[in-house]
Amino acid sequence: MAQVISSIVVVILIAGFLLRANRGIHIRLMALAIATDLSLVLALELNRSAIRKATTNPSPLLMFHVAMSVIALASYAAMAALGNATRGGNTRWRGWHRKVAWVLGCSRAANYVTSWML
């Protein structure tokens, strides 16, 4: 079930990226993707004790997966803050918003691929 939800999050992120010219839809899709992904992380921790598993003799692949997960989560926070800063038409932070979007996209893609490998 977690893989299905994760796949849905990836589709929502891609849709949000493709529809970035329409701010209203972009913001709603990205907020939905972030909220869903954070809920998934919380559910995995509560149901599978993911943090304990990741810190108890982890394989190199699991360590990479966790690193990408942490980067993606940090990027979500940065994207939300930067997106909120640019929301009112302020272009000052738009360049950073785009740069962090690349970090988020790459880390989330790596997280998604490695989740299927674990």
Q: Give CA separation, 44 vs 4, 50, 73, 113, 115, in Å.
A: 13, 6, 14, 17, 12
* Neighbouring C-alpha atoms within 13 Å toward the C-beta of 118: 20
Query: Residue 23: helix, strand or coil by DSSP?
Result: helix
pLDDT value at position 100? Answer: 97
Mean pLDDT of 96-118: 96
DSSP classification of residue 19: T
* pLDDT at position 55: 82
Q: What is the pLDDT of residue 57?
A: 86
Indicate the pTM of the whole model.
0.89
Q: Give the mean pLDDT of 27-55.
A: 91
pLDDT tens figures, 49-76: 878 888 888 899 999 999 999 999 999 9
Confidence of residue 48 (pLDDT cuts 50, 70, 90): confident
- Give me the percent of the chain exceeding a pLDDT of 70: 100
